[in-house]
Chains A and B, each alone.
Chain A
Amino acid sequence: MSATAAAPIKSVDALKAAPDDYQLAVRKIVRSHAVNELYGARVYDEPAIALAPTPYLKWLTCRIAMEEYGHHVRFRQLGEQMGIPESEMTPEGRKPLSIFEFPLKTWEEFCVVKLLADLAEIIQVEDLMKCSFLPLRNLAKVTMPEEIFHSQFGKDTCTELVRTEDGRKQVQAAINHYFPMMPAFFGKKDSANNALYRKYGIKQRTNEDMRADFLKRVRDLVEGHLKLKLPEVAEAA
């Protein structure tokens, strides 16, 4: 059986008849999302509740943490249906993305993480909304509204913070710290994995395309909207 964007795979059962490398590719994506959603909830969202400056923002952050954890649960459940061992879908024993190695210290950092990392997540999930593996496409569609809200939360809170001089400095410092780690989110240039994903219509865009899209959108946000500076970074991972 050949799996292409024109011949979507409609269920986990149907996946079993797909080529081995198609199955492997889907497993990698599901595992990666399950792990990173949980990492994000643990490393950023849960600690941010204590840092939030008002009850309103504390409760909103509680809800965001629940939603991020919920994304992990959805990807993990799909992974379980696909036969991925549970141990491969939690952060324990897996090397984290570099951004997860830096514990959150301030509320401003959290707002910047939502601004930057959730935009990166949106770009990844947008691509999965056309995925040839329909259970993954459906999951992306369900997840997207919450991702958009989280990214908007980052934009709204940063917009509020930069109204004061101290807030501007802190948001800029957090951008300087976190932004250089972001391009690596999108994977390596000329990635063999990405070529496989595109061959089968699991993903639609190259890592370079998605990274360039992210850089354009984040520049509009940081320089156009917030009137702050985006540090220079190497665009290729």
Chain B
Amino acid sequence: MSGAARSEADAAFARLASFTAEIPRLRWFAAVGTTLTPPMVAAAETYVAALGLVPCPVATVGSWHEAAAAAQRPDWSRDWWQAESVCEQALQRQAGARFGLEPLLAALTDVTDAAAGIRDQAAAALACAGLDDEALAKVAAGAAAQACHQQGLALLAGDSAGRAFAAKFTLFAAGRWPLGIVGGTCFVF
């Protein structure tokens, strides 16, 4: 690896390490169910557009029960999930080509480890709403951990292809839970 490439790799992994350190400090799910602010709506719109999907309305759901129900509706968008998968695979190829698969996977493992504690924050947020639902806490934590993984990939791939995941992560970092596209609407809890 050349000196320039080494320095580029160091900078990218430093960015990722800083992101990883931030994960346990975020107030996960702290703003769920509240009114969506214009910046949150804009982030959701950016997320949808950056995935290359047709623009759609953005709406919120008001409770954990409604969030769980939305995530189980049969009319969820397969195109949305597929677009995320395609984007994720492209970022993994790019990041792997830049830095090698092994260092990439090691760094992403650190991200996943950092995200393991989000389940406790999800359970705490549920408890604030008077709910004790271990499965739903794990569903929310799984969604958040996936977003951490995707944002980690985006940071390492280092180009605009990761814009969708950056926008999605902005929503999580603001204490929301983007539920994806269901019935033609992008729902954010």
Contact = CB atoms under 8 A, between A and B. Distances in A.
Nearest to B115: A66
A164 to B, nearest CB: 14
Interface residues of B, number: 26
A69 B115 CA distance: 13
B134 A149 contact: yes
A102 interface: no
Nearest to A61: B142
| Dominant secondary structure at the B interface | helix
A73 B85 CA distance: 26
A153 B134 CA distance: 11
23 contacts: A54-B71, A54-B76, A55-B72, A55-B81, A55-B179, A56-B68, A56-B72, A56-B139, A57-B72, A58-B142, A59-B71, A59-B139, A59-B142, A59-B143, A60-B139, A60-B142, A61-B142, A64-B138, A64-B142, A66-B115, A69-B112, A73-B113, A149-B134
A63 interface: yes
Nearest to B76: A55
Contact of B116 (A54, A59, A70): A70
Which one of A50, A63, A153 has the greatest number of beta carbons of chain B within 10 Å? A63
B61 interface: no
A62 B145 contact: yes
A62 B71 contact: no
Which one of B142, B145, B146 has the greatest number of beta carbons of chain A within 10 Å? B142
Nearest to A70: B116
B111 to A, nearest CB: 11
B72 A54 contact: yes
Interface in A46-83: 50, 54-64, 66, 69-70, 73
Interface in A84-125: none
Contacts of B146: 59, 62
Contacts of B180: 55
Interface of A: 50, 54-64, 66, 69-70, 73, 149, 153
| Dominant secondary structure at the A interface | helix
A56 B182 CA distance: 12
B138 A60 contact: yes
A55 B143 CA distance: 9
Interface string B108-150: 0000110110010000000000000011001111110110000
Nearest to B181: A55
A66 B142 contact: yes
Nearest to B149: A62
Contacts of B119: 63
B76 A62 contact: no
Given A63-B145, A70-B116, A55 B71 contact: yes
Contacts of B112: 66, 69
Given A55-B179, A56-B71, A58-B142, 16 more contacts: A55-B71, A55-B81, A55-B143, A56-B68, A57-B72, A59-B143, A60-B138, A60-B139, A60-B142, A62-B142, A63-B141, A66-B112, A66-B142, A149-B134, A149-B135, A153-B135
